[in-house]
A and B are shown apart, each in its own frame.
Chain A
Amino acid sequence: AQSVSQHNHHVILSEAASLELGCNYSYGGTVNLFWYVQYPGQHLQLLLKYFSGDPLVKGIKGFEAEFIKSKFSFNLRKPSVQWSDTAEYFCAVVDQTGANNLFFGTGTRLTVIP
């Protein structure tokens, strides 16, 4: 069965600090990878996705993620966070050949201090 691990449960950063949130998945087949974000009081929305090709993908609001197949990882990064990045971040994976059943990690809450 697929699983997704997010090791950081709560991250607190000051504005302008760099961010890296870890995501590891366990699945032997070919997968699509996603990061979703949930801002306070808002619905979950897609931040970025990886299907194939360049393993470094760029998303909205200056976020990027790197797929490292050998490490089964898809870490999220941002060089300089802003207070408005305060949110909960979820990594997710789906089997490319499967039934569109998305598996989510437990989420990482990011708090950015002005």
Chain B
Amino acid sequence: DGGITQSPKYLFRKEGQNVTLSCEQNLNHDAMYWYRQDPGQGLRLIYYSQIVNDFQKGDIAEGYSVSREKKESFPLTVTSAQKNPTAFYLCASGGGAGELFFGEGSRLTVL
């Protein structure tokens, strides 16, 4: 089936550790995105990539890093510099005009 696959679904991390969230798409979309969802704050853009080997910071990029080595893959690393990493992370891809397709999300909890 075509879609966005995020893993893991749930992740626990100790303070000071980096963690990487995986996002894979088989929709052949050029653009991919990472959003953070917190209660009452909607979705906030962390990073996005319009094309392989290129990516741009979103509104809340501090403490995060990404790579886009393949069209299908856009992993997000939550670094120890992220002060409040406990959140629900959503990956999306888009074929154009702003219509996005979302994965099921990854819930990160920092212990």
A→B interface (CB under 8 Å): 6, 9, 32, 34, 36, 42-46, 49, 51, 90, 92-94, 96, 99-107
Contacts and interface: CB of A to CB of B under 8 A. Distances in A.
B84 interface: no
Interface of B: 4, 31, 33, 35, 40-45, 48, 50, 56, 58, 90, 92, 94, 96-100, 102-105
B100 A9 contact: no
A100 B103 contact: no
A43 B25 CA distance: 14
B34 to A, nearest CB: 12
B98 A100 contact: yes
B59 to A, nearest CB: 9
Q: Tell me the interface secondary structure of chain B in the complex.
A: strand
A68 B62 CA distance: 36
B102 A105 contact: no
A43 B100 CA distance: 12
Contacts of A107: 40, 42-43
Contacts of A46: 99-100
Given A9-B40, A100-B31, A101-B48, A34 B105 contact: no
Given A9-B40, A43-B105, A44-B102, A101 B45 contact: yes
A44 B48 contact: no
B43 A49 contact: no
A99 B50 contact: yes
A97 to B, nearest CB: 11
